[in-house]
Amino acid sequence: MQLTTTRLAVFIFLAAFGSTCVAADRIVTDSTGRELALPAIVKRVYAAGPPASVFVFAIAPEKLIGWTRAMHTDEAVYLPQKYAKLPEVGRLTGRGNTANLEQVLAAKPDVIVDAGSTSETYISLAQKVETQTGIPYLLFDGRLAQTAKSFRALGVALGEKARGDALANYVDRTLAELHAKIAKVATAKRPRVYYARGANGLTTALDGSINVEVLDLLNAENVAGKSKISSGLTKVSFEQVLAWNPDIIVTTDEVFYRFTVHQDPRWRALAAVGAKRVYLSPDLPFGWFDFPPGPNRLIGAQWLAKILYPDIFKDDLEPKVRTFYRLFYHRAPSSKEVEALLNPGNAE
């Protein structure tokens, strides 16, 4: 984060732009247990990172000030145009953070919202930004198992309790259905999956990483397993992937899917490639499997469940996609758009 602004500079900036601070009328609690004073009516929300953008947009799109980056044309198609055209405001958290405190203050938010990890690192960041801007900074747990709880709490914080509850109820129903069906799968029949990131497919995520939570949810075996020194993303050698020889490969990288895995003769030695069990995750307007690691992964879990367990998950996915997009993105895609979403490898 670009914390280059000194306290004095911030005070000068506040004087120039007008403070965003308003009289606090109520106290709300975020996922870390911090109690923060918020105005009675929240009208403008700055999302600190991409997962928070999805949370806020799902609950109260008219309150989202802007996207962490401008929507690409192919992404914008799946959103109501007035929201797709929201400006780029940068991000405060995660890789490639692009916003600084001057930009945040200029946006004049009533509150900053972040979602994802609630570790001490992110709590410290939230407190530092609050101190330097005077804007309350709420931090919510972005893990799939906590998504319903976070939606309910965020709904209350933004004055949108009914919307928060409706989205949380969808999350509860979806996770319960997945858990109930997957509980019938014998441990010996757990599919062995490799998650390939990057154009060369040699970045992956270890057990415990939020990036492979969908695999955990679906009780699939992540062949990369655990590490004693890391639980996030890691680089591996092709020889290591060959030794794992996964049954299925899931990727979020179109270059890897279109070229590397099918044209590099080394990859064709893998059982998953030979069996044509390499899958490119849909990613419009937000990734279904990973990017960002937010509630957008709920439809991805239903998509991947059909791939991993076709004998158990037999339902047509189209109505599920339409329901999810209508609820979370405020626009139900057409049948043609759903077909395009489900076959990203066929895109021109």
pLDDT above 60: residue 16: no
Nearest to 163 by CA among 334, 297, 330: 330
Q: How many CA atoms lie less than 13 Å away from 277 in the CB half-sphere? A: 22
pLDDT for res 187: 87
pLDDT for res 345: 77
pLDDT digits (tens, 9 = 90+) for 71-109: 999 999 999 999 999 999 999 887 666 678 888 999 999
pLDDT above 50: residue 177: yes
Mean pLDDT (the chain, rounded):
90
Q: Using DSSP, state whether 115 is helix, strand or coil.
A: strand
pLDDT digits (tens, 9 = 90+) for 239-294: 999 999 999 999 999 999 999 998 899 999 999 999 999 999 999 999 999 989 99
pLDDT for res 150: 98
pLDDT digits (tens, 9 = 90+) for 43-58: 999 999 999 999 999 9
* 3-state SS record for 74-86: HHHCCCCHHHHCC
Question: Could you tell me the two tokens for 56?
Answer: 């806020």
pLDDT for res 229: 53
Please compute the mean of the pLDDT values over residues 138-152 and round it to a whole number: 97
pLDDT digits (tens, 9 = 90+) for 292-329: 999 999 999 999 999 999 999 999 999 999 999 999 99
Nearest to 139 by CA among 153, 124, 126, 152: 126
Please compute the mean of the pLDDT values over residues 148-167 and round it to a whole number: 98
Question: Could you tell me the two tokens for 62?
Answer: 């008219």
Q: Which residue has the tokens 């395009």?
A: 340
CA separation (Å) from 172 to 94, 148, 168, 298? Answer: 27, 6, 6, 11
pLDDT for res 219: 95
Q: Assign 230 a pLDDT band (cuts: 50, 70, 90).
A: low
Q: Are 84 and 188 a contacting pair, CB within 8 Å?
A: no
> Which DSSP state fits 259?
I
Q: Are 204 and 196 a contacting pair, CB within 8 Å?
A: yes
pLDDT for res 99: 73
CA separation (Å) from 294 to 10, 41, 114, 191, 316? Answer: 31, 25, 11, 24, 24
pLDDT above 70: residue 224: yes
pLDDT for res 103: 86
Q: What percent of the chain has pLDDT over 90?
A: 81
Q: Are 90 and 105 a contacting pair, CB within 8 Å?
A: no
Nearest to 157 by CA among 67, 34, 68: 34
Please name the amino acid found at residue 132. Answer: Q
pLDDT above 50: residue 157: yes
Give the span between the Cα atoms of 117 and 265, in whole angstroms: 39
Q: Which residues pair with 60 in a beta bridge?
A: none
Per-residue b/e over 39-62, b at no fewer than 16 CB within 10 Å? beebeebbbbbbbbbbbbbbbbbe
Kindly report whether the peptide bond that precedes residue 39 is cis, defined as omega within 30 degrees of 0. no
Query: Would you list the DSSP string of 42-95?
Result: ---EEESSHHHHHHHHHH-GGGB--BSSPPPHHHHTTS-HHHHTPPB---SSST
Please compute the mean of the pLDDT values over residues 209-224 and round it to a whole number: 94
pLDDT for res 262: 86
Q: Are 291 and 283 a contacting pair, CB within 8 Å?
A: yes
For the entire predicted model, the pTM comes to 0.90
pLDDT for res 20: 45
pLDDT above 60: residue 190: yes
Give the span between the Cα atoms of 186 and 174, in whole angstroms: 21
Q: Using DSSP, state whether 268 is helix, strand or coil.
A: helix
> Which DSSP state fits 105?
H
> Which helix or strand (DSSP H or E) is residue 195 part of?
strand 192-196
Nearest to 203 by CA among 225, 239, 233, 226: 233
pLDDT for res 348: 57
Question: Could you tell me the two tokens for 301?
Answer: 């879990």
